[in-house]
Amino acid sequence: MLKQQGWIVPVVGALALLALPAVLTPYTQELVVKIAIYAVFALSLELLVGVTGLVSLGHAAFLGIGAYVTVLAAGDSGGSIPRVAALAVLAAAAYGVFVGALSLRTKGVYFIMVTLAFAQMAYFVFHDTKIAGGSDGLFLYAKPSLGALNLDDKQHLYFTVMVTLIATYALLALLMRSRFGHALAGIRVNEQRMRAAGFATFGYKLAAFVIAAALAGLAGFLLAVKDGAVNPELLSWHESGAVLLMLILGGIGSLRGAVIGAIAFTLLKELFQLDALLGPLAAHWQLTLGFTIIGFVALLPKGLIGLRARLAGVGARAGAQHG
């Protein structure tokens, strides 16, 4: 069962996020927005991987679909925020139903491979066909708005993204505490037993899959609005791999871990690309990243959240020797 963690830290974090613009430069503020969007993306996958135990290697497809539909729906005038966002979320959820219904027929490694393959299918639709700009992607010429709220304004965008992040976090926290969430956790631990207890596990898994897809689509909407450009690479398996990495970096099994993982991963990528820090290796940052991942998974399988417990464990042992 998922331990219920205190609410103090998330609330403090949320307040800090909302206050940050006062101290940030424009470049760093954009970075924080990027991290927040990826945090929403990671949270959506947490529902699948951490809560339900379904390892999906194709989650980026929903991010990409949400982003592309945003650009296509916004058109020349930008459109209204609720309409465009809803379309993006619905499109992602619809593809989630298709992929979920088919891939949940498989288990374990098959599931991983099948989700990857379906993400690749979506990638090819956007990369090869004339639906949307091909490999060069599409551009958002006018950003959506709602009354006075105009996402073209950097401050408005910042607060919209932060509010979305906080709302997603809260939604998932509530979900995890609900009967539905507990059922998902039960499925993760022992699906057979849940079935014996009378739960229609396929339905629950599919529901989790579609919700996760919808939330990823929402992240895609935000990403498209922030960047003003979408590209088929958003659906690539590198993106799917990256979000899984965020989860394992932060620590699987908690919402906090997802957010921390998103922060850590994005910052690591930025750091590894800084000439100032790494010199000639900066151009080959994927090498550094690769080794870091291997090290992390090998040595810190519980992620950054597990780091404290590990250090505490070491300290306690040392203390016991002296005490």
Q: Which of residues 264-323 bind another protein (CB under 8 A)?
A: 264, 267, 270-271, 274, 276-277, 283-284, 286-287, 289-291, 293-294, 297-298, 301-302, 304-309, 311
Closest CA to 253 of 105, 68, 93, 42: 42
Q: Which stretch binds another protein (CB under 8 A): 36-44, 164-172, 202-210, 258-266?
A: 258-266
CB of 192 to another protein, least distance (A): 17
**298 Cβ contact partners less than 8 Å away, ≥ 6 residues apart:** none
Answer for which of 42, 65, 244, 262 binds another protein (CB under 8 A) is 244
Spatial separation of the C-alpha atoms in residues 168 and 150, rounded to whole Å: 21
Give the H/E segment covering residue 146: strand 145-146
The alpha carbon dihedral of 185, 254, 243, 137 has a sign of: positive
Which 40-69 residues touch another protein, going by CB under 8 A? 49, 55, 57
Q: Are 76 and 141 in contact (CB under 8 A)?
A: yes
Kindly tell me which of 83 and 178 has the beta carbon lying closer to another protein: 178
The alpha carbon dihedral of 39, 311, 7, 28 has a sign of: negative
Closest CA to 171 of 40, 8, 52: 40
Kindly tell me which of 81 and 305 has the beta carbon lying closer to another protein: 305
Answer for which of 139, 155, 315, 319 binds another protein (CB under 8 A) is 139
Answer for which of 66, 96, 137, 217 binds another protein (CB under 8 A) is 137
Which 68-127 residues touch another protein, going by CB under 8 A? 102-103, 105-106, 108-110, 112-114, 116-118, 120-121, 124-125, 127
Which 174-213 residues touch another protein, going by CB under 8 A? 188-189
Spatial separation of the C-alpha atoms in residues 292 and 206, rounded to whole Å: 34
Question: CB atoms < 10 A from the CB of 83, how many?
Answer: 13
Using a 10 angstrom Cβ sphere, with 0-12 exposed, 13-18 middle and 19 or more buried, the burial of residue 7 is exposed
Kindly tell me which of 77 and 106 has the beta carbon lying closer to another protein: 106
Quote the distance between the C-alpha of residue 52 and its chain's center.
15
Answer for which of 84, 173, 254, 255 binds another protein (CB under 8 A) is 254
Kindly tell me which of 40 and 245 has the beta carbon lying closer to another protein: 245
Amino acid identity of residue 290, one-letter, is G
CB of 276 to another protein, least distance (A): 6
Determine if 25 is a binding residue for another protein (CB under 8 A). Answer: yes
Count of residues binding another protein (CB under 8 A)?
91
Q: Which stretch binds another protein (CB under 8 A): 27-35, 155-163, 174-182, 210-218?
A: 27-35
Kindly tell me which of 8 and 196 has the beta carbon lying closer to another protein: 8
CB of 86 to another protein, least distance (A): 25
Determine if 233 is a binding residue for another protein (CB under 8 A). Answer: yes
Closest CA to 151 of 94, 207, 70: 70
CA 203 vs CA 120, 163, 182: distances in Å:
25, 30, 14
